[in-house]
Chain A
Amino acid sequence: MSELLVEGLMVRAGGEIILRGVDLCVRGGEVHAVMGPNGSGKSTLAHVLMGRSGYEVMGGRASLNGVDLLALSPFERAQAGLFLAMQHPTEVPGVSLADLLAEALRASAPGAEKLLAERLAVEAEVLGVPAELLERPVNVDFSGGEQKRGEALQLAVLRPAVAVLDEIDSGLDIDALRHVSRRIERAATEEGLGVLAITHFSRLLSELHADRVHILMRGRIAASGGPELADELERDGYERWSQPEEVAVSLGRLSRRR
């Protein structure tokens, strides 16, 4: 079974420490939600797992099925089975979704691109992606909803072991959110996908049902629990986990903890 293991991950960006020792374990078939207020480090966690530049890993580990992700470049991480659905998917002028996926499949295994046409047709139907969108330059002049459906479509076609979803719910209307959530849930239950869904609001969790919920505050996991934790959060807000002594946590202490 797949396993994304994050241990004591400490990350600095722009001279500031953003993640202060994050521990997570996401296994195949599980849906984990990471929730947190603005600036808590959610997007940093997503980006650093995929290896985006501009982040400095100061400590800790991240592995996928025992493979050290931090030692790999982004495309190798993807080939190792990691997927990142981006909050703001990048516009790539002149490169269509179909071209991009063909290239990605070709790189994953010789001849794999032959699977593209069939998978695309099936998944586009499931996710409500019009055929015309597949030929357009990816994300260029896409609506918010089209972008997110596009991300989900790529996820469905590429079939990673673990997917990190960075605010997949933002920009989606309720119907699209349902389409996307159902497809991802099905990937988890039927295809053994591990999901790490990063979100701002519990709205996502009413559609995408999480097995585990983690609350990320100031760069560390402040609490973990079952789906009921999201309900508490909905009721009480983040205040409760924002304890003042946590603010001044020292690097030394974190290292020992790890």
Chain B
Amino acid sequence: MLERFSVAAAAALPGPDWLRCRREGAAAALQGIGFPTAAEEVWRYSPVGEIRSALEQPKGVFPLPEASAERSGKSPPDCRSAAVESVLRRFGKSSGLGVIRNGEVVSVWVDPVAAEDGLEIVPLADAALSTTATDPGLGSVLAEAADDLPDAFGLLNDVFATAPLLVRVRAFARLEHPVLVVNLVDAASSGGVFPRLLVSVGEAAEAQVVDVVCSDSSLLSGTGGSGPLSDDMPSVSSATAHSTAHSAVQSSPQSALVLPVAEMSVGAGARLGYLSIQELDRRATAIANTAAVVGKQGYLNVGLVAVGGSYARLRTDCSLAGRGATGDISAMYFADGSQIHDFRTFQNHVAADTTSNLLFVGAVDDDARSIYSGLIRVGEQARGTDAEQTNRVLKLADGVWAESVPNLEIENNDVRCAHATSVGPIDEAQRFYLESRGVPPEAAERLIVDGYFGEVARRLPVAGLAESMRGLVSAKLHDRHEVPADDLMSADDLTSADGEVPAVDLTSAGDLTSAEGE
């Protein structure tokens, strides 16, 4: 079983010794725990069965990275592709840039000023970089935060991440602009993709990192800043866009399996803003792990924006390990068509006087599903913990399904923990208020949904991106109103759901009702 992920296979992959060592360890651990099944509660809504059988086929739909000779045979893709350009345009100035295509580092650039201030972007496995090879510390920084990857997919990343990228910010450094990491997944090619990012922010340093995972073609649906793609870029047709998560994995040879791991290590008194944007196309399956450790008086602000994927799961672990550490986590997501968005969060209060504030805001439309499951865990030593967890889901259609499961695990009495969850349709009173000012139903709905994401958008790290991220999410609502007649019908139905005036009575409502009255 799982021969493709055997210890021997892992050891045969290219890279420096320390990395191969890690891979062997991860492969052994993977063999130990085996693959999960959908029968396990935490994987209940995921297509793990399909993923597994695809991975186990001798010539699976996910060709995994193989020997270095083969890889070097491919010419490196041009990093100045239209997709990268459009991402760069959206984010404006940056302190540094890492471009990764299908899990392989394509290019790395650091602004000279930022380099002087103390920013390094290091492809950890690149033997060509002599500093990497000779820096004995680099091997150990990997898994600084994600030392104990929680599931088989995290371990798969550990085995197959051939090009981990380190973003390191020197103690006391302050970066003026965000660091951008762009992970491109070719929409037209199939494959397992294993992006691995480690962000390490030294004592009292300040930095922001934007981590974009997108299909090359998905940038078409980006916000105002994104430009047109060149003609040879494949685009996703709306027909394929609506295939289900399960059949996408089984029947489409072109769906990617993306298994990213992002680790963050925030030093004492340091401040890190980390914004993750998931814009994969609708055929891709993504199972991502994000793990962070925050030191004494450190502050981590995590923002998660998710719009893509067929099945897209994101687990976030935030460990407040130093006294007085703070971890804020905000997410905005929008699932439509037959997408499934699945979020798992862990606010781990390890040290005393730690604070966490979590706000997830999502919308589900058409036949989509969303799952939110969050745990606030307060350890024995974590007296004075202040933890909040809120998940709000807006149901935009009758066919949607959303689950929200908050959990608490508290081992200390001197704490304040609060959680709140709400799942429901657009508020009728709000809709009426806007309509009573002459705003038509579609526009009212757009305003309300836009507004619904307003608070969480403002909380996202990286100032100046709030509007663009809100636009990215509510762009889905605009798309919705452009398509099929039956969709439009359902929008109308919504507005007159409790309609005093049924459609047939439009011309003679007065007569009909008065007849009734007499």
* A and B associate in one complex: yes
Residues in A lying within 8 Å of B, measured CB to CB: 8, 10, 50-61, 68, 70-75, 77-79, 83-84, 86, 89-95, 99-101, 103-104, 106-108, 137, 154, 158, 251-252, 255
Nearest residue, chain B, Cβ from A93 = B451
Query: Hey, which chain A residues are within 8 Å of B518, CB to CB?
Result: 59, 251-252, 255
Nearest residue, chain B, Cβ from A256 = B518
Nearest chain B CB to A193 CB, angstrom units: 16
Contact of A10 among B437, B452, B517 (CB under 8 A): B517
Query: Hey, which chain B residues are within 8 Å of A107, CB to CB?
Result: 438-440, 443
Contact of B438 among A158, A251, A255 (CB under 8 A): A158
Query: Hey, which chain A residues are within 8 Å of B452, CB to CB?
Result: 93-94
Query: Hey, which chain A residues are within 8 Å of B433, CB to CB?
Result: 86, 89-90, 92
Query: Hey, which chain B residues are within 8 Å of A56, CB to CB?
Result: 500, 513
Is there contact, CB below 8 Å, between B430 and A92?
yes
Counting chain B CB atoms within 10 Å of each CB, the highest count among A70, A84, A95 belongs to A95
Given the known interface contacts A57-B509, A100-B439, A107-B439, the answer about A92 and B517 at a Cβ–Cβ threshold of 8 Å is: no
Contact with A along B501-518 (1 / 0, CB 8 A): 100011111100110111
B428 at interface, CB cutoff 8 A? yes
Complex: A83 Cα to B499 Cα, angstroms = 19
Complex: A89 Cα to B433 Cα, angstroms = 8
Contact of A137 among B437, B454, B505 (CB under 8 A): B454
Query: Hey, which chain A residues are within 8 Å of B455, CB to CB?
Result: 93-94
Contact of A68 among B438, B497, B498, B510 (CB under 8 A): B510
Is there contact, CB below 8 Å, between B514 and A75?
no
Query: Hey, which chain A residues are within 8 Å of B497, CB to CB?
Result: 53
Query: Hey, which chain B residues are within 8 Å of A92, CB to CB?
Result: 430, 433-434, 447-448, 451
Nearest chain B CB to A72 CB, angstrom units: 8
B311 at interface, CB cutoff 8 A? no
Is there contact, CB below 8 Å, between B435 and A71?
no
Contact of B435 among A55, A60, A68, A73 (CB under 8 A): A73
Nearest chain A CB to B237 CB, angstrom units: 32
B441 at interface, CB cutoff 8 A? yes
Nearest residue, chain A, Cβ from B515 = A59
Is there contact, CB below 8 Å, between A71 and B507?
yes
Is there contact, CB below 8 Å, between B437 and A104?
yes
Query: Hey, which chain B residues are within 8 Å of A78, CB to CB?
Result: 435-439
Is there contact, CB below 8 Å, between B451 and A55?
no
Is there contact, CB below 8 Å, between B451 and A101?
no
Is there contact, CB below 8 Å, between A95 and B448?
yes
Query: Hey, which chain A residues are within 8 Å of B428, CB to CB?
Result: 53
Query: What are 22 inter-chain pairs, A to B, with CB distance below 8 A?
Result: A50-B432, A51-B501, A53-B498, A55-B500, A58-B516, A59-B514, A61-B510, A68-B509, A70-B510, A71-B501, A73-B435, A75-B436, A75-B439, A77-B436, A78-B437, A78-B439, A104-B439, A107-B438, A137-B451, A251-B517, A251-B518, A255-B518
B6 at interface, CB cutoff 8 A? no
Contact of A51 among B434, B500, B505, B508 (CB under 8 A): B500
Is there contact, CB below 8 Å, between A95 and B507?
no
Contact of A57 among B495, B508, B513 (CB under 8 A): B513
Query: Hey, which chain A residues are within 8 Å of B435, CB to CB?
Result: 73-75, 78
Counting chain A CB atoms within 10 Å of each CB, the highest count among B437, B500, B509 belongs to B437
Nearest chain A CB to B433 CB, angstrom units: 4
Query: Hey, which chain B residues are within 8 Å of A71, CB to CB?
Result: 501, 505-510
Nearest residue, chain B, Cβ from A105 = B438
Is there contact, CB below 8 Å, between B514 and A53?
no
Query: Hey, which chain B residues are within 8 Å of A53, CB to CB?
Result: 428, 432, 497-500
B450 at interface, CB cutoff 8 A? yes
Complex: A41 Cα to B369 Cα, angstroms = 43
B28 at interface, CB cutoff 8 A? no
Query: Hey, which chain A residues are within 8 Å of B506, CB to CB?
Result: 71
Nearest chain A CB to B336 CB, angstrom units: 20
Complex: A171 Cα to B429 Cα, angstroms = 20
Complex: A95 Cα to B452 Cα, angstroms = 8
Query: Hey, which chain B residues are within 8 Å of A8, CB to CB?
Result: 514
Given contacts A51-B501, A60-B510, A103-B447, 16 further A-B contacts (CB under 8 A): A53-B499, A57-B500, A59-B513, A73-B435, A73-B495, A73-B496, A73-B499, A75-B440, A90-B429, A90-B432, A100-B447, A103-B444, A107-B440, A137-B451, A251-B518, A255-B514
Counting chain B CB atoms within 10 Å of each CB, the highest count among A72, A75, A252 belongs to A75
B453 at interface, CB cutoff 8 A? yes
Complex: A197 Cα to B228 Cα, angstroms = 54
Query: Hey, which chain A residues are within 8 Å of B498, CB to CB?
Result: 53-54
Query: Hey, which chain B residues are within 8 Å of A252, CB to CB?
Result: 518
Complex: A79 Cα to B183 Cα, angstroms = 48
Nearest residue, chain A, Cβ from B507 = A71
Q: Which chain B residues in 51-66 approach chain A with CB under 8 Å?
A: none
Complex: A79 Cα to B518 Cα, angstroms = 32
Query: Hey, which chain B residues are within 8 Å of A51, CB to CB?
Result: 436, 500-501
Is there contact, CB below 8 Å, between B434 and A93?
no
Counting chain A CB atoms within 10 Å of each CB, the highest count among B428, B429, B436, B517 belongs to B436
Q: Which chain B residues in 422-479 approach chain A with CB under 8 Å?
A: 427-430, 432-441, 443-444, 447-448, 450-455
Given the known interface contacts A90-B429, A92-B448, A93-B455, the answer about A70 and B517 at a Cβ–Cβ threshold of 8 Å is: no
Complex: A252 Cα to B448 Cα, angstroms = 44
Complex: A203 Cα to B436 Cα, angstroms = 27
Counting chain B CB atoms within 10 Å of each CB, the highest count among A50, A70, A108, A158 belongs to A70
Closest 6 CB pairs of A and B: A94-B451, A94-B454, A59-B517, A78-B438, A90-B433, A95-B451
Complex: A107 Cα to B505 Cα, angstroms = 25
Query: Hey, which chain A residues are within 8 Å of B448, CB to CB?
Result: 92, 94-95
